[in-house]
């Protein structure tokens, strides 16, 4: 026979007194099943819980955690399942691909382990589309994070967190009283490893297609004790609950990252300078551009690297306004062809989901040919560049900007014979897109996903002699 404390642990205690507990023989069977589910992680947690084991975000945010709820509501955590690109990628690419290729069949359920964990735990696979307004739409909600007690194994990845729903809510402090639940101080919740359970990911082929936590761990910020929360959940004096005190270090639930233009702008410092300050038509001038990643504790771009495009565009404008595009000088390293914009096709494996075996692909970059790209190219089992992380078997060169790394690029410009005398201004602009535009256009993704954000810009000049 189970005690009252067991009942609170299994069914949610005071937060769930609105649901009656019927202590009958059939319910004892359910209770035993719930107890065996405790500790399940990763794929093993699929279908081990019920939606009813977890409170809705609105329940948490209506009268108690109002300000925290409003912050979360405007973050990507609240849209991990409903965001337009995530919906298109999952329903129009991942699911049909998984149904046609047994090698990636696991992603039909697995994507949900991080994008809508409650649906995964409830075994709601495939969830209905966001337009159906099911509880899958809660995405990464309050209860997802505040019921996690640890992770399985040595390395956090592929949603190997362990969720124990109930009356005990995990948080950064255990002081105070709540009318809705017990407060349990969690050391794990305040670690980078907690974030790594979803921000590290291996594909079905064993390739690290997301490694944000691992990049941080290998970089300078980890050695100094700077963690994910310090940048993405900044601290401020505030109330975390309406009836509670003002804490000097309340974590703001903003989760601002790649989708936040304010976060992206200024990430990389940019300076460009010439090797000479005067030149005649026909004479070469070499411009050197220095890019310093001053802001991210991981590589930039990171996360869904297969989608992201970060590129450097340099152009010159002469004294009468004529514009010249300056392509980057190749460095000659292996795989460099993936880091210089070209008019080539890629992403042919989208044809699997589209049931088009002879799909030729779409334009790989969609930016001016010759611009330098800071990316890691993902390759499918056939060695072709892919936009589908689940179909990634290997990688080409990783030419992203590491934390506190400086990269130098040169642009050699031989002044045309007809260039106007006077001042020639050369401007370098570092641009960022969440999704490669030709892919966005092909899949009818709203334009905001492929809109260009200027990370930084800098200009220099030389004098063109008559």
247 lies in the same domain as 292? no
**Total-model pTM:** 0.90
- For residue 149, what are the contacts with CB-CB under 8 A and spacing of at least 6? 162, 163, 164, 170, 186, 188
Residue 54 in contact with residue 165, Cβ under 8 Å? yes
Hey, what are 82's tokens? 């409903």
Q: 70 and 131 share a domain?
A: yes
Same domain (yes/no): 114, 11: yes
Q: Is residue 441 domain-resident?
A: yes
Our CA angle for 227, 228, 230, nearest 5°, is: 70
Q: Is there a domain that residue 256 lies in?
A: no
153: tokens are: 């194994």
pLDDT in tens, the chain (466 residues): 333 233 333 333 333 333 332 223 333 333 333 334 457 999 999 999 999 999 999 999 998 999 999 999 999 999 999 999 999 999 999 999 999 999 999 999 999 999 999 999 999 999 999 999 999 999 999 999 999 999 999 999 999 999 999 999 999 987 777 888 999 999 999 999 999 999 999 999 999 999 999 999 999 999 999 999 999 999 999 999 998 999 999 999 999 999 999 999 999 999 999 999 999 999 999 999 999 999 999 999 999 999 999 999 999 999 999 999 999 999 999 999 999 999 999 999 999 999 999 999 999 999 999 999 999 999 999 999 999 999 999 999 999 999 999 999 999 999 999 999 999 999 999 999 999 999 999 999 999 999 999 999 999 999 999 9
Same domain, 245 and 265: no
- What total number of domains does the chain contain? 2
Nearest C-alpha neighbor of 76 from the set 140, 131, 143, 157: 140
Can you tell me whether residue 322 is helix, strand or coil? coil
Q: What is the pLDDT of residue 174?
A: 79
pLDDT at position 318 is: 98
Check residue 38 and give its pLDDT: 58
Q: Encoding tokens for residue 113? A: 């382990």
Cα separations in angstroms, 341 against 82, 336, 367, 368: 32, 10, 7, 7
- Digit-coded pLDDT (tens) for 11-47: 333 333 333 322 233 333 333 333 344 579 999 999 9
Of 251, 280, 309, the residue at which a domain comes to its end is: 251
Measured at the CA of 346, the angle between CA 344 and CA 348, to 5 degrees, comes to 140
Domain that holds residue 74: 4-251
Domain stop point among 196, 223, 251: 251
What pLDDT is stored for residue 11 in this prediction? 30
Let me know if residue 26 belongs to a domain: yes
Which of 189, 217, 251 is the endpoint of a domain?
251
| CATH number of the domain where residue 437 is located | 2.60.40.3880
363 and 396 inside one domain: yes
Q: pLDDT tens digits, residue range 442-451?
A: 999 999 999 9
Q: Are residues 210 and 287 in the same domain?
A: no
Q: Are residues 199 and 267 in the same domain?
A: no
459 and 351 housed in the same domain: yes
pLDDT for res 34: 37
Residues 210, 137 share a domain: yes
Give, as one character, the DSSP assignment of residue 68: H
């Amino acid at each position: 026979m189970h005690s009252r404390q067991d009942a609170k642990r299994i069914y949610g205690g005071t937060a769930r007194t609105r649901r009656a507990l019927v202590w009958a023989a059939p319910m004892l069977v359910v209770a035993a099943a719930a107890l065996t589910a405790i500790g399940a992680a990763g794929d093993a947690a699929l279908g081990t819980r019920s939606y009813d084991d977890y409170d809705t975000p609105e329940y948490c945010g209506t009268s108690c955690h109002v300000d925290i709820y409003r912050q979360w509501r405007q973050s990507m955590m609240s849209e991990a399942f409903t965001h337009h690109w995530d919906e298109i990628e999952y329903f129009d690419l991942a699911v049909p691909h998984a149904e046609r290729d047994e090698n990636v069949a696991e992603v039909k359920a697995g994507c949900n382990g991080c994008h809508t964990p409650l649906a995964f735990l409830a075994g709601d696979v495939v969830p209905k589309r966001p337009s159906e307004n099911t509880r899958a739409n809660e995405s990464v909600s309050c209860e997802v994070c505040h019921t996690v007690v640890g992770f399985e194994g040595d390395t956090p990845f592929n949603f190997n967190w362990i969720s124990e729903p109930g009356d005990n809510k995990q948080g950064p402090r255990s002081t105070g009283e709540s009318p809705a639940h017990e407060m349990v101080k969690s050391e794990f919740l305040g670690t980078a490893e907690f974030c790594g359970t979803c921000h590290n990911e291996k594909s079905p082929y064993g390739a690290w297609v997301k490694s944000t936590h691992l990049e941080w761990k290998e970089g300078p910020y980890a050695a100094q004790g700077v963690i994910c929360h310090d940048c993405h959940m900044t601290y401020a004096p505030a109330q975390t609950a309406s009836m509670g005190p003002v804490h000097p270090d309340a974590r703001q639930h903003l989760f601002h990252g790649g989708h936040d233009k304010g976060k992206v702008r200024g990430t990389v410092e940019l300076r460009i300078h010439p090797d000479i300050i005067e030149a005649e038509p026909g004479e070469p001038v070499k411009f050197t551009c220095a890019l310093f990643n001053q802001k991210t504790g991981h590589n930039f771009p990171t996360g869904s690297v297969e989608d992201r495009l970060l590129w450097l565009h340099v152009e010159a404008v002469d004294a009468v306004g004529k514009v010249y595009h300056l392509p980057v000088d190749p460095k000659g390293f292996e795989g460099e062809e993936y880091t210089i914009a070209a008019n080539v096709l890629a992403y042919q494996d989208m044809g699997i989901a589209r049931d088009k075996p002879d799909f030729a692909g779409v334009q790989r970059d969609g930016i001016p040919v010759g611009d330098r790209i800071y990316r890691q190219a993902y390759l499918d089992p056939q060695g072709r560049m892919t936009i589908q992380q689940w179909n990634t078997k290997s990688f080409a060169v990783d030419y992203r900007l590491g934390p506190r790394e400086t990269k130098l690029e040169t642009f050699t410009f031989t002044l045309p014979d007809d260039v106007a005398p006077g001042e020639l201004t050369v401007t370098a602009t570092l641009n960022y897109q969440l999704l490669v535009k030709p892919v966005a256009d092909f899949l009818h993704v709203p334009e905001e996903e492929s809109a260009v954000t200027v990370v930084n810009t800098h200009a220099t000049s030389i004098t063109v002699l008559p």
